[in-house]
A and B are shown apart, each in its own frame.
Chain A
Amino acid sequence: MLLEPIPETVLDVRNLNVRFSTPDGDVHAVSDVSFSLGKGECLGIVGESGSGKSQTFLAALGLLAENGLTSGQVILDGSDMLAISEEKLTAIRGNKISMVFQDPMTSLTPHMRIGRQLTEVLTQHLNVSEAEARDRALTMLKRVHMPEPEKRFSMYPHELSGGMRQRVMIAMALLCSPEVVIADEPTTALDVTVQAQILDLIRDIKESARKSIVLITHDLGVVAGLADRVAVMYAGRIVEEGRTQDIFYRPTHPYTRGLLACMPRLNDDGAQPLTTIPGQPPDLQKLPPGCVFRARCANAFERCISENPKLTPAAHGGRKACFLASEAVNP
């Protein structure tokens, strides 16, 4: 077997924990998450709501809500983003790492023209003149295939369609040519034909601009086409991680298997009921001891109740957090 060259790591997350203190007790949103992102790589983060997939990256960028507490390390370009000053963090955000959010309507300023919102990024971060900022912003709008970019420049967000607004968000994220782009459910709010356009654009940016991309989504279909590697999250933990093909064709964790099995397929004839994962995700305020998935797992045994499985090497070369040998897992 040929060894794949290990790409240079651009983002390294180590033992990240995120806790929110609430009057009813602490919510453990992210527990001991570690992973790395290679240069030019697309890492898919898959999970259902409350799995911690968004909070992991909001914490990494210092964008958590006020009652959020973080521990661990997020190494980008040699410095720990969780330890540096707010000032330094502001300089890094947008410049070296940027984020595309799910809902472009709420993440764009409603009373500011598109052009101004884009040029402001450049004048703030790169200290360029207004004229140059305008040129660069227009070039970027063309780069993201915005129809009639000059006309859109003087429009307000509400005058654009959802797909166009997401193109503006992507243009904004790319303006200062960051090394890492984090796309948090970038197509969830869009219709399926427009989603196809935006996924095409992300594919193009990944391939031609060689950006390192983190793609956060609940849709396994979206990561199947785009990601090089996939991490599956459940109740604040990574439960399995590996190359995309391995996760889809040789999943080892019972949750990953269940998730794949309960997706209806387009060629489904409806004769069989869908496979389901019984029950629902645990309450993050009252996490039981042991494995977070055990209450819904058909394979759980005594050890799963008393001990929390750590991420360990899996048969497919990735990692999994499960005590069972992969062959022993019933789907």
Chain B
Amino acid sequence: MTDQLLQIEDLKVHFPVRVMGGFFGTSRPLKAVDGVSVGLKSGETLGVVGESGCGKTTLGRAILRLAPYTSGAVSWIGEDFAAADKKKIQSIRRDLQIVFQDPLASLDPRMTAGDIIAEPVRNFEPGLSKSIIVERVRETMELVGLSPAMINRYPHEFSGGQCQRIGIARAIILAPKLIVCDEPVSALDVSIRAQIVNLLSSLQKRLGLAMLFISHDLSVVGHISQRVAVMYLGKIMEIGTRDHIFRSPRHPYTQALLSAVPVPDPDVERAKKRIILLGDPPSPLDPPSGCVFRTRCAKATDLCAKRAPSNESVAAGHQVACHHWKE
């Protein structure tokens, strides 16, 4: 397919971790991402949801090659990213940008807003004259709803929402094809969050961006994404369109996750049947055998302990990794 931007096949990112025990301790792999396959088309938004430690951030970083991957393949518009040399990676990176969670911490406090936004241009298009760069920075600032008059201010002079606008301006100034948004609104207050969510979706439509939107917040993901992947302990449990995931979830984990989100509607909230999962997610250092979700799953059987479920197709574009999804 020509409009396929990104294709990830069986991606694994394992970090060696020293654990106590033995004479010197031993090294064990922490399986942050463990066999993820997913694709992204141009102009599409894929939401990735999951709880802390599920590997959603590592997945985003691995796509940008900010985390080394252990095995698997990532291809970018048909080219194998893993085999690419440094020069090739540089040119691919131009098309791949990231927006981080903490808006203030991800901006250099000693650089002005203008310098921060201009940095990618200076990196990738050296030799441009200063006046052209300033012009592009001003245009981009207007695009993200920042007044160009604030170009010489420092990050601490901006509010959290404005800092996130600077981070977004920096990510889009090179007109990339894909931006990875890692929890871009989690540090923001409710009334500011809606402004940034709207900004991201309007930019996506105007610039034809593809977006990987990583968040623990299901309602935000549901609002912004066309497709949604649900991750748990390094694996994708279920993937489908927004309607598949939110209206007819098949995986017991997706169902529990959706029922656990508190809804701002007293009658609905008091009447709804909650699926309360027991305990906490297991450590990714020591994941359960078979299906990784089985220790908290009400449907788990012996089969789940013996064999990891493979991806089964529920409908076109809707896949679930569960032995018992039909029940």
Binary interface encoding of chain B residues 251-294 relative to chain A, with 1 for a CB under 8 A from any of its CBs, else 0: 00000111111111111111000101111110000000000000
- Complex Cα spacing A278 to B190, Å: 12
- Complex Cα spacing A225 to B280, Å: 23
Decide: B223 and A221 in contact? CB cutoff 8 A: no
Residues on B with C-beta less than 8 A from A126 are none
Please provide the chain A residues from 265 to 295 with a CB less than 8 Å away from any CB of chain B in the complex: 265-270, 273-278, 280-281
User: Closest approach, in angstroms, between the C-beta of A167 and any C-beta of chain B?
Assistant: 11
- Complex Cα spacing A221 to B194, Å: 16
Residue from A193, A221, A225 within 8 A of B257 (CB atoms): A193
Asked if B207 CB lies within 8 Å of chain A CBs, one says no
Closest to A219 in B: B262
Binary interface encoding of chain A residues 120-154 relative to chain B, with 1 for a CB under 8 A from any of its CBs, else 0: 00000000000000000000000000010000000
Decide: A266 and B263 in contact? CB cutoff 8 A: yes
Please provide the chain A residues from 244 to 273 with a CB less than 8 Å away from any CB of chain B in the complex: 244-245, 248-249, 258-260, 262-270, 273
Assuming A48-B191, A193-B257, A270-B242, is B264 touching A263 (CB within 8 A)? yes
Residue from A163, A221, A276 within 8 A of B264 (CB atoms): A221
Decide: A263 and B51 in contact? CB cutoff 8 A: no
Residues on A with C-beta less than 8 A from B106 are none
Asked if B159 CB lies within 8 Å of chain A CBs, one says yes
Assuming A220-B264, A280-B161, is B190 touching A263 (CB within 8 A)? yes
The dominant DSSP class at the B interface is helix
Query: Which one, B12-20, B62-70, B214-222, is touching chain A?
Result: B214-222
User: Closest approach, in angstroms, between the C-beta of B188 and any C-beta of chain A?
Assistant: 9
User: Closest approach, in angstroms, between the C-beta of B66 and any C-beta of chain A?
Assistant: 24
User: Closest approach, in angstroms, between the C-beta of A259 and any C-beta of chain B?
Assistant: 6
Asked if B224 CB lies within 8 Å of chain A CBs, one says yes
Decide: B219 and A274 in contact? CB cutoff 8 A: no
Residues on A with C-beta less than 8 A from B218 are 192, 266
Residues on B with C-beta less than 8 A from A239 are none
Asked if A199 CB lies within 8 Å of chain B CBs, one says yes
Residues on A with C-beta less than 8 A from B258 are 266
Assuming A193-B260, A266-B246, is B222 touching A161 (CB within 8 A)? no
Asked if A77 CB lies within 8 Å of chain B CBs, one says no
Assuming A49-B189, A276-B195, is B276 touching A196 (CB within 8 A)? yes
Assuming A195-B260, A262-B194, A280-B161, is B266 touching A248 (CB within 8 A)? yes
Asked if B192 CB lies within 8 Å of chain A CBs, one says yes
Binary interface encoding of chain B residues 138-172 relative to chain A, with 1 for a CB under 8 A from any of its CBs, else 0: 00000000000000000000010100000000000
Residues on A with C-beta less than 8 A from B296 are 193
Asked if A320 CB lies within 8 Å of chain B CBs, one says no
Q: Which of A48, A192, A276 has the most CB of B within 10 A?
A: A192
Decide: A48 and B190 in contact? CB cutoff 8 A: yes
Residues on B with C-beta less than 8 A from A48 are 189-191
Residues on B with C-beta less than 8 A from A219 are 262
Assuming A192-B218, A193-B51, A276-B195, is B223 touching A270 (CB within 8 A)? yes
Query: Which one, B33-41, B87-95, B97-105, B196-204, is touching chain A?
Result: B196-204
User: Closest approach, in angstroms, between the C-beta of B274 and any C-beta of chain A?
Assistant: 6
Decide: B261 and A191 in contact? CB cutoff 8 A: no
Decide: B277 and A260 in contact? CB cutoff 8 A: no
Asked if A237 CB lies within 8 Å of chain B CBs, one says no
User: Closest approach, in angstroms, between the C-beta of B18 and any C-beta of chain A?
Assistant: 17
Decide: A274 and B267 in contact? CB cutoff 8 A: no
Decide: B261 and A192 in contact? CB cutoff 8 A: yes
Asked if B71 CB lies within 8 Å of chain A CBs, one says no
Decide: B280 and A221 in contact? CB cutoff 8 A: no
Decide: A163 and B246 in contact? CB cutoff 8 A: no
User: Closest approach, in angstroms, between the C-beta of B158 and any C-beta of chain A?
Assistant: 10
Closest to B264 in A: A220
User: Closest approach, in angstroms, between the C-beta of A271 and any C-beta of chain B?
Assistant: 10
- Complex Cα spacing A219 to B261, Å: 11
Residues on B with C-beta less than 8 A from A266 are 218-219, 222, 246, 258, 261, 263
Please provide the chain A residues from 220 to 254 with a CB less than 8 Å away from any CB of chain B in the complex: 220-222, 224-225, 244-245, 248-249
Other than the given A193-B296, A224-B266, 8 more pairs (CB < 8 A) read: A191-B51, A191-B52, A196-B260, A219-B262, A224-B264, A245-B266, A263-B190, A276-B194
Residues of A at the B interface (CB closer than 8 Å) are: 48-49, 147, 161-164, 191-197, 199-200, 218-222, 224-225, 244-245, 248-249, 258-260, 262-270, 273-278, 280-281
Provide 9 A-B residue pairs closer than 8 Å at the C-beta atoms, listed in order of the A residue: A192-B51, A192-B260, A193-B257, A196-B274, A196-B276, A200-B274, A221-B264, A262-B191, A266-B258
Enumerate the 3 nearest inter-chain pairs by beta-carbon distance, A residue then B residue, closest first: A221-B262, A262-B194, A225-B269
